[in-house]
Structure 1
Amino acid sequence: MLYILTGDVQTGKSRWLEKHVKKLAADHVNCYGVISAGVWVESDSTRANTQGFEKRGIECILLPNLERFEFAKRTDISKKEGTFDERSQAGKAGLGWHISDEAIAQVNAHFHNIAEKAQRGMIRGVLVVDELGRLELDRGEGLVEAVRLLEEGASGSFSNALVVARSELAMRVADRFADAWGGAQIILPE
């Protein structure tokens, strides 16, 4: 089954996912893939949420080993720091987050490694993709190795997958991948 965790921007999808991946690990269920966790700082700016925190970046957590690295910065911050690359996939797409092509390549290499292990029957668990967005769904770019795994569907290694997608993209994810996974269910971070 394909589970699609959805909600509006900054509604706690990745925090919910992190918590549930830990619960699954405690129950001896391995998760393979990536969580895209927000990097939040205390702030009194207009970008701060109601708790007084501002999201300034995104950090990838590679599952199952929990390796972390910087994945994205808000585009305005990246431009101010001089790290914005207009020729990058994210730059050409005009995203609100600047993701370096090197960071995308690192995540794709991780998913490629997962695919190879799955083909050899070396792993078993839940496939986790946080998140599919405009790069993947509109442009055929971004996390292309994750998309390939999702297109292959349920297998001996992965009978279930959990994908994060914003509300406006959730049905597109369901329409594209549900048949390969024997159906899809939309869930909310509650």
Structure 2
Amino acid sequence: MTLSSLSDRPSSPPVGDGVHAPFPSSGCVDATFYPTAEKGEFEGYASLFGIMDLGHDVVMPGAFRDSIERRGAPGVKLLWQHDPMQPVGIWRSIEEDSRGLYVRGALDLGQGKSREILSLMRQGALDGLSIGYRTEIERKDPETGLRRLERIDLWEISLVTFPLLPQARVRSVKARPARRMNPYFSR
């Protein structure tokens, strides 16, 4: 084993606990994360159209359009558990498609919390996305209490442990690429 192969290994992320501040008007969605090797990149749906969450909210198609045009991906924060004191990366792209709000993000691996989050994502222990927003236009059904969100001012999208929408779970995580084994150590 050479000194350079030792220095190529990622350091262990520090263990710590964040302050969790739930966002009162958040919705969650079916998310698929694809962390890419050592870069901390992932992607998935941060919101799905037409699906009721546990707060009786349903995001309608086009709800994010104005906010995305106004803010763009750089204007929407990537937070840990909706805590404004814990930004953990950046959104590379945020776009609506026919299914929902599709996002591509990158964790800042220069900070320990982000390395810990990436490790949890790779293990399947962390598997949710949740949106933080202000409702601009809504329609509420007085009989059912269902709230249709027609226009949303999107402030942030968080990586979360417990998403508000039960289906909001990671379905697959790309594994770290295999390291080449020194032939001396192989059988």
TM-score range for the pair, normalised by the shorter chain length: under 0.3
TM-score w.r.t. structure 2 length? 0.24
Tell me which protein shows more strand as a share of its residues. Answer: 2
CA radius of gyration, larger in:
2
